[in-house]
Structure formats: C-alpha cells, structure tokens
Amino acid sequence: MSDLTKMTLKAAVDGLKAKQFSSAELTDAFIGAIETANPALNAYVELTFDKARQQAAASDAKLARGEGGALEGAPLGIKDLYCTEGVRTTACSGILANFVPTYESTVTANLWRDGAVMLGKLNMDEFAMGSSNETSYWGAVTNPWKSRGSNAALTPGGSSGGSASAVAADLCLAATASDTGGSIRQPAAFTGTVGIKPTYGRCSRYGMVAFASSLDQAGPITKTVEDSALMLQSMCSHDAKDSTSLDVPVPDFSSFLGQSLKGLRVGIPDEYRLDGIPAEIDALWEQGIAWLKDAGAEIVRISLPHTKYALPCYYIIAPAEASSNLARYDGMRFGHRTDKAQSLTDVYELSRSEGFGKEVKRRIMIGTYVLSAGFYDAYYVKALKVRRRIAEDFTNAWNSCDVILTPATPSAAFQLGDAQKAADPVAMYLNDVFTVTTNLAGLPGMSVPAGLDSSGLPLGLQVIGKALDEGSVLKAGYALEKAAGFTARPDRWW
C-alpha cells in the first residue's frame, strides 16, 4: 500500500483510470505517509483529510463510470499562498493566522475541475519572502535529504519549501508552488524535484496572496518533467479576474516531451560563471551542455551582460511592490487586529508589527524607502530601467539561441539556522542569483534534477525559454532528465 505514494503523478492518473487502485486507497496511503512524516518535516501547515476523502470518493464514482478529468483522483498538496474556500489560508504569516477564504483561487479551482484531491496546505516562507522556509510563522520545513554522514537538518529551500519537501518525501503526488524570484526552482533544485515557472501571465494570480504582483507566477513542483507538463496543463488558463492573465491558447504541454532536440540552439551565458561557485556546480553545468549536445542540440555561447544587476534590481522592485501590496493588512477588514491599541495609529502600527515577521517588515521598509519622496527616481525608477536592460539582454540572446541552460542554484541545500545567512540578508538573497532574471523578464524557467554533489545532495540545472515557449523548455528539460537518469531518493529517516 505504501508503495502507492512513490508513484509519479502520470503513473497514478493512469493507474486510477485503469482501476488498478482507487483514489480512496491512494488518498489513504498519502494520509498515512503524512501522519508519519509531518511531525519531522513540517511540510504541511493545514491538513484537510476529511475533504480529501470526500473528493476521493467523488472521483472514484466518476472513474467507475469511465468519466473524470485529467487529474481525476490524484492527491495533491497546495501551497498555503493559494486561497482555498473554507480552508484556512495564511501565506504562513501571523497576520493571516485565522484567515479562512470565502472564495477559491483560479489555479486551485482549475485543479479541482480536473478532478484533483487536496491533502492539505503546504508550508512556505512568510508571504513567499525567503529562500530557506525559515521565515514561516509555522516554523521551518526540513528537507528530506541529508548530507552523507551528517544528521544536520537541511533547508528544502524557499519560498515553496513545503511543496518541495512534500513532493520529495512522497507526501503528495505533486504540489502547487509559486515563484517571484526563484521560489519554485530553488526548492526544486534543493530536493531533487522538478519545478517550472511558466511565462508571466500563463497562470491566473486571482486568489494567490500577493507579494510582488509584476513578478509573482504560479507553477508546480513535481517528481518528473512529464508530471510538470500535466500539472501546468491544468493550472494555466486565461482569467478575466486577473487583468495580467494572458488571453492566449494553452498548448498541449505533454506533446513536447520526447521531441527531438535537432536544430534546437541552446545558449550558454558567460555571465553565469560566477566566482565562488562550487566546482561541482560548474562541472554539472558542463555535463548538462554535453547531454544536450549528444541529444542533437546546437550549443551557442551567449552574453547576458546585465545579469549581475538582476538581484539588486529585484531587491528594489519586489520590496516596493510588497510594501504597496501589504498595505492592505491594516487590522480593519481581515487579518490580525491588536488588542493593545489606544489610538487609531496604534491599531495600524501594532496590528502590523505583531502580525508580520522580521523579514517581511524589513522588506516593507526597504520598499517604503525606495518609493518615498526624494528616492523614488534614484531607486525605483532606476530599477525599472535596469529591468528593461535585463529583459533586452534576453531579447538579444534569442537572436542566436532558442533556450538557455544554466545552473539552478549557486549551492546545494544548506543547513537550517545558517548563521552567516541569518546575519546577512544579502547572503540569503544570493540564492536566487540564477533564477531571478527570468522573473524580471517574465520568461519561463524550469529546474531539473541532474546530479548529486560529493555529499550526496541533489543539484539542479535550469532551462530558460522565450516568452510563451514553455514547449521548448519542457522538451529540453525532458532530454536532460532522460540523460541524467536521476533516480536518487532521500533515505527515509522520519
């Protein structure tokens, strides 16, 4: 029975359709796995087992009649950033600790339309601000992977740390996640899972708790590239409730898997060779280049000259948008309200200061500062112009290549409670050095597990594509996955 949890999403969906097992059996297997693992991993912050069993029963009835959607009966985990009707949604912030949405996000509504089953809500950094899942109001998530010969608890990355940990530990078939600067791809790389952020606007942001609206984008974390195509197919849609949602046809993502790479030009950006990056990551990158070449792709050297400015640019734009978005938490209409106030200003200031965590407050203040009179042009407008330069780098690169291959992260998973990263916010921010450029440019990016480092921890490679060309990203990602033959799994210590 426990083996059911080890299946891929694709195998599970096919098995359900072939009536090899029922959704009720599959769901119960995951419930058992979560009950065993969650006290150790803290991946789920809200369990919805009753709802899961009801959805599973409904799916089994449909499947028995030979009906059902593309994900019928498949148990998933949902990042706590997606509003789920009647199920507490906190974005892992104290200010939303008791928030129960009366509506459903479009992305999750699409998943339920296609028959998916919800096991619960997954842990994340508070408001998705973090790269180690340590800023969560509900406590850090632990990575199921451990360094060889060490018992130290490692981060699963962030902000989608709960999603990555749950998928890697077989606590759901697949999970929703979201990516503002790397929050899908970095945790996927740290846990040996696949994470894809589609083109900005592919998925509706309706019902996703907002962090930085011009950068936030939904996407899945899955066990395989094939599974990510399946999840993405369901998650993407045009939505009138999100004015930035793209009114374009969604292609059949699975159709790109296994296509020949002949004629595909793969760009290798010089500027991604950074000082101080472990030699193992450079070696894996070289290996990835060789794999794609063997598969028929043409390798092209490219230049993305403004790469080094992407992170500082991001740390103006994202906090600026966050300070504006998070102004809605005022203790009046929803969210935490202080009981210590003497004046109206007290209500605002104390409710917010009690409700928000340290990193969120820091980013609100950076955002407020760069938007304040006298600094708006010097910081905010400047960053918007640099963002244009970064996007132009990619536009120029597409003259000579079709996709870009880079490392996913500058390191493997690091220890929870890393003192240097806790003391220096910039050291933590550097986690997103390879991923943040695609958020600024709005491009699709995917992290694929490609190997293990010398201490046995997974490392990922990233494929970046042109806007709306997730197809080529999936095609190249699938080829990498096949060539890497990554089958390593974390030992079950929980």
Partner 1 sequence: MAIDVATVKKVASLSRLRESDERLEALAGELNGILGWIEQLNEVDVANAEPMTTAVETGTPLRDDVISDGDKVRDVTANAPKSVDGFFIVPKVVE
Question: Contact between 205 and partner 1 (CB under 8 A)?
Answer: no
- Interface pick for partner 1 out of 118, 166, 246, 257 (rule CB under 8 A): 246
By CB under 8 A, which span of 2-10, 35-43, 143-151, 348-356 interacts with partner 1?
348-356
The distance of closest approach from Cβ of residue 164 to partner 1 in the complex, given in angstroms and rounded to an integer, is 24
Binding to partner 1, residues 85-124 (CB under 8 A): 98-103
Pick the catalytic residue: 132, 165, 183, 351? 183
By CB under 8 A, which span of 46-54, 109-117, 284-292, 358-366 interacts with partner 1?
358-366
Q: Which two tokens stand for residue 142?
A: 């632990």
How far apart CA 231 and CA 235 sit, in angstroms, is 6
Is residue 222 classed as helix, strand or coil in its secondary structure? strand
By CB under 8 A, which span of 74-82, 180-188, 260-268, 301-309 interacts with partner 1?
301-309
**What is the bridge-based pairing of β-strands 117-122 and 75-79?**
parallel
Question: How many CB atoms sit inside 10 A of residue 271's CB?
Answer: 16
Strand order in the sheet with 217-222: 44-47, 117-122, 75-79, 175-179, 217-222, 194-197, 445-452, 458-465, 403-407, 265-269, 298-302
Query: CB neighbours of 367 closer than 8 A, spacing ≥ 6?
Result: 318, 319, 320, 321, 322, 323, 324
> Is 214 tagged catalytic?
no
Phi, psi of 214, rounded to the nearest 5 degrees:
-85, -5
Question: Contact between 387 and partner 1 (CB under 8 A)?
Answer: yes
Question: Contact between 382 and partner 1 (CB under 8 A)?
Answer: yes
Question: Contact between 336 and partner 1 (CB under 8 A)?
Answer: yes
> In this structure, are residues 129 and 114 in contact, taking their beta carbons and an 8 Å threshold?
no
Interface characters, 412-451, with partner 1 (x: CB under 8 A): ------------xxx------------xxxx---------
- Interface pick for partner 1 out of 45, 366, 408, 480 (rule CB under 8 A): 366
Cβ neighbourhood burial of 262 (10 Å; 0-12, 13-18, 19+): exposed
> Is 254 tagged catalytic?
no
- Interface pick for partner 1 out of 22, 199, 233, 307 (rule CB under 8 A): 199
Query: CB neighbours of 288 closer than 8 A, spacing ≥ 6?
Result: 405, 450, 461, 480
Residue type, 22: S
- Interface pick for partner 1 out of 1, 40, 64, 327 (rule CB under 8 A): 327
Question: Contact between 304 and partner 1 (CB under 8 A)?
Answer: no
Instruction: Please say which residue, 6 or 88, places its beta carbon nearer to partner 1.
Output: 88
- Interface pick for partner 1 out of 215, 232, 257, 261 (rule CB under 8 A): 215
With the CA atoms of 201, 179, 39 and 150 taken in that order, what torsion angle do they form, in degrees rounded to the nearest 10? 150
> In this structure, are residues 104 and 85 in contact, taking their beta carbons and an 8 Å threshold?
yes
Question: Contact between 266 and partner 1 (CB under 8 A)?
Answer: no
Query: CB neighbours of 414 closer than 8 A, spacing ≥ 6?
Result: 132, 154, 155, 421
Question: Contact between 316 and partner 1 (CB under 8 A)?
Answer: yes
Pick the catalytic residue: 22, 159, 228, 237? 159
> Is 183 tagged catalytic?
yes
The distance of closest approach from Cβ of residue 209 to partner 1 in the complex, given in angstroms and rounded to an integer, is 13
- Interface pick for partner 1 out of 81, 412, 467, 484 (rule CB under 8 A): 467
How far apart CA 72 and CA 177 sit, in angstroms, is 20
Is residue 480 classed as helix, strand or coil in its secondary structure? helix
Residues with catalytic annotation? 79, 159, 183
Interface residues with partner 1 (CB under 8 A)? 98-103, 199-201, 214-215, 240, 243-244, 246-247, 306, 308-309, 312-313, 315-316, 323, 327, 330-337, 341, 344-345, 347-350, 352-353, 356, 361-362, 364-366, 368-369, 372, 379, 381-389, 391, 424-426, 439-442, 467
